[in-house]
């Protein structure tokens, strides 16, 4: 077995498990994206953080020594090649656009942007990055979807459809790349306390109450808890885990 594929295969993420690896994090300016940058940086990876130009990227550079901020628009056709220049071993695809609206009232003009960012962009990045990972005999592709992609959610029909596409995509790519030491998995957050979710829930207090009642854990998740799952799937310890969907949801959906 190529030692590059599963070096340190028994170690969990952390303690330098990703030392010498480059991790690309998209959507790095979001609450979950920042937590993922911290998680992978703590595991020893050289982190490349990308998002639209936002102050959060500059803050990450100041906070995490060695982190490289490379702001770009993932909808730009040149973005995958530009980001591939960093030669990532890990792709943590966190970027996503959530929209809450009843399907009957959802403007069709928004559908294209949701599909472009939530599904097409991760697909384009994967196609650009995977070949080099295969040549090196080691790679981790981790996509952030949503529990609404698995179980559905009122007001998220279009968003859920685009995120559900990641599940089928990751499972298919996992089959194609497994023999080359490259894994592909999906993390599905449930209700997580983020700036975006707070804006939605603050405007809909009944929705917040309903979520808390429906969640066995009785609380919203934390971005760090989602990041920990991504950190595991990005680690050498997860070398035999591929094509899987891991929900981080406090038990709100268990199927």
- Model confidence over 138-157: pLDDT tens digits? 999 999 998 876 765 665 67
From the candidates 138, 159, 169, 232, give the one annotated as an active-site residue. 159
Q: Which residue has the tokens 């790519």?
A: 173
CA atoms within 13 A on the CB side of 166: 38
Q: Decide: pTM greater than 0.85.
A: yes
Residue 134's pLDDT is 98
**H helices then E strands: how many in the chain?**
11, 7
Active site residue 143: no
Quote the CA–CA distance of 44 and 39 in Å, as a whole number.
Answer: 9
If one counts every other C-beta atom within 10 angstroms of the C-beta of residue 179, the result is: 9
Pairing mode, if any, of strands 22-26 and 46-50?
Answer: parallel
Residue 152's pLDDT is 58
First to last CA, the chain: 35
Residue 8's pLDDT is 39
Using 50 as the pLDDT threshold, list the residues of the chain that sit under it. 1-14
Structural domains of the chain sorted by starting position, each given as residue range(s) with its CATH number in brackets: 14-192+222-248 (3.40.50.720)
């Amino acid at each position: 077995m190529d030692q590059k594929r599963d070096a340190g295969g028994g170690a969990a993420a952390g303690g330098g498990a990703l030392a010498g690896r480059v991790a690309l994090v998209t959507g790095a300016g979001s609450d979950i994206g920042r937590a993922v940058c911290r998680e992978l940086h703590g595991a020893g990876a050289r982190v490349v953080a990308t998002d639209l130009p936002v102050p959060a990227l500059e803050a990450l550079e100041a906070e995490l020594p060695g982190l490289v901020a490379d702001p770009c628009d993932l909808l730009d056709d040149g973005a995958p090649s530009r980001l591939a220049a960093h030669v990532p071993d890990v792709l943590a695809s966190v970027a996503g656009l959530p929209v809450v609206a009843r399907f009957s009232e959802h403007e069709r003009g928004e559908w294209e942007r949701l599909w472009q960012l939530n599904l097409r962009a991760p697909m384009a990045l994967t196609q650009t990055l995977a070949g080099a990972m295969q040549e090196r005999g080691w790679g981790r592709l981790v996509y952030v979807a949503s529990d609404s992609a698995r179980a559905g959610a009122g007001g998220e029909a279009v968003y859920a459809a685009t995120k559900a596409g990641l599940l089928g995509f990751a499972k298919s790519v996992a089959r194609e790349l497994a023999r080359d030491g490259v894994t592909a998995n999906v993390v599905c957050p449930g209700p997580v306390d983020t700036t975006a979710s707070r804006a939605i829930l603050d405007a809909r207090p009944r929705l917040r109450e309903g979520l808390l009642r429906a969640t066995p854990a009785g609380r919203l998740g934390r971005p760090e808890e989602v990041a920990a799952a991504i950190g595991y799937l990005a680690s050498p310890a997860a070398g035999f885990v591929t094509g899987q969907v891991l929900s981080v949801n406090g038990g709100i959906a268990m199927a």
